[in-house]
Structure 1
Amino acid sequence: MEKQEVNEESGDELFFSLLPDELYEDDADSSTDYNSQNSSAGTVSLPMTELDTSPVRPTTPVMPEILPQIQNVTSTVKLGCCLDLNVIACKAWNVEYNPKTYKALIMRIREPRTTALIYKSGNIVCTGAKSVEGSQLAARKYARIVQKLGFPARFLNFKIHNLVASCNSFPVSLERLAHHHDCSYEPELFPGLHYKGVPGITVSIFSSGKMSLSGAKTEADIYKVLETFFPIVSCFRRK
């Protein structure tokens, strides 16, 4: 029995090691008796103060044939209170909760179509949105759902952690491009070439010209890396 508990604890450590640092909170430090706050939950409102997440785009596109489209936005928000995930699992719709597998409750909404990981510490990880504005709206909706269940939820420290975008360009000779010092290409392991010319952002490009960008925090970062990468890749265009 002791061996099984050790395996479960090691599995939890591996899972939480993959999440952003600000999600590591001691739930015991912020324990809250949610039952005593049900009567006053109706007077709690979500504050409207947060980051200005309006996208910053260049006045002209990098190239007419390269127009990046955001495919996924990952963000986090703090609700400022502890949660009873069992209560949420019983009262809310479209949720999954299996504490033996993950300590987080999974909740989904249709508009914007997103998925949230909700932790008892009051932290939420939101994924699946197609824009920064959509991710922020989805995070607000999750906070509002929790608030309606009787918890004194607030909307605190909303932050974008990752933007994943894709775009199409022209066919590229990856074998020649691989000699660039910022590129990594191992066709035996992965058919695409990785470019890491901008710190924190990785571009994966395939011989067909399709590109995937990950690691950006804003849309301006996506255009910045494309402006850096496009002159390089243009020299290795296949005819």
Structure 2
Amino acid sequence: MEPSNDVALDIIITNVVSVFRTRCHLNLHTIGLEGSNVIYKPEMGLFVLLLKLSMSSKILKSFCEEEAKLGARRLARCLQKIGFKVRFSDFKVVNVLAVCSLPFQIRLIEFTKNNRPIASYEPEIHPAASYRIKNLRSTVQVFSTGSITVTGPNVQSVASAVEQIYPLLFECQKTRS
């Protein structure tokens, strides 16, 4: 049985991690004392601004690349209001996490045997098989339920990873009883 080319999978982006430069020195103690809606964690050397997105001094997490950039700009504006001479620059998305549910279950042992050495499966350590795609710099975690988790450097590489692994997973689907 061949995989169909017209299969529509919902790839849900759950997290986007990005970085940017402020081009000024940030005093976390000052931010913790003078910033509004700020949680200062000196033992970890970071602060969290409670905006619509959760943020730290250099890393920002959100659900899409556009929201990440908007949140980073909002963070820079908040720092300017406290008195720092922030100049927003060098914004870059560094990691994207997405999940996807396939319409079938997977035989993980068969999948791993068919795709060695790229795929690995250690059921004693983790319930998912791991599949690394070096040219996309992406990793796919495949669960027997048909759920997959994909990490990559950007949204396009995540989507490409799902497209690349789908035919391999289709070959190893569990038959329905």
The normalised TM-score by structure 1 is 0.66
Look up the SS of the partner of 1:165 in the other structure.
strand
Q: 1:62 deviation in Å?
A: 7.0
Alpha-carbon contact 1:198-1:225 (below 8 Å) kept? no
Q: 1:219 deviation in Å?
A: 1.6
1:224 corresponds to: 160
Whole-angstrom CA distance in 2 between matches of 1:228 and 1:102: 39
Look up the SS of the partner of 2:32 in the other structure.
helix
Alpha-carbon contact 2:94-2:154 (below 8 Å) kept? no
Match of 2:94 among 161, 173, 181: 161
Q: 1:108 deviation in Å?
A: 2.4
Over 3 Å counting, the alpha-carbon distance change for 1:85 and 1:62 in structure 2 is farther
Whole-angstrom CA distance in 2 between matches of 1:226 and 1:103: 36
Match of 1:89 among 21, 29, 32: 32
- Are 2:51 and 1:117 aligned? no
Letter in 1 for 2:105: P
Q: 1:165 deviation in Å?
A: 0.3
Whole-angstrom CA distance in 2 between matches of 1:201 and 1:209: 18
For these two proteins, the number of residue pairs brought into alignment is: 167
Match of 2:138 among 201, 213, 225: 201
Over 3 Å counting, the alpha-carbon distance change for 1:151 and 1:62 in structure 2 is farther
1:77 corresponds to: 20
Alpha-carbon contact 2:111-2:169 (below 8 Å) kept? yes
1:98 corresponds to: 41
* Structure whose alpha-carbon radius of gyration is higher: 1
Letter in 2 for 1:87: T
Look up the SS of the partner of 1:231 in the other structure.
helix
Structure 1 unaligned runs (5+)? 1-60, 119-123
2:110 corresponds to: 176
2:126 corresponds to: 190
The normalised TM-score by structure 2 is 0.89
Look up the SS of the partner of 1:178 in the other structure.
helix
Match of 1:144 among 69, 77, 95: 77
Alpha-carbon contact 1:71-1:130 (below 8 Å) kept? yes
Look up the SS of the partner of 1:97 in the other structure.
strand
Structure 2 unaligned runs (5+)? none
Q: 1:198 deviation in Å?
A: 3.6
Over 3 Å counting, the alpha-carbon distance change for 1:71 and 1:203 in structure 2 is same
Whole-angstrom CA distance in 1 between matches of 2:84 and 2:174: 58
Deviating above 4 A after TM superposition, structure 1's stretches of 4 or more consecutive aligned residues are none
Match of 1:135 among 48, 52, 68: 68
Percent identity between the two aligned chains:
27
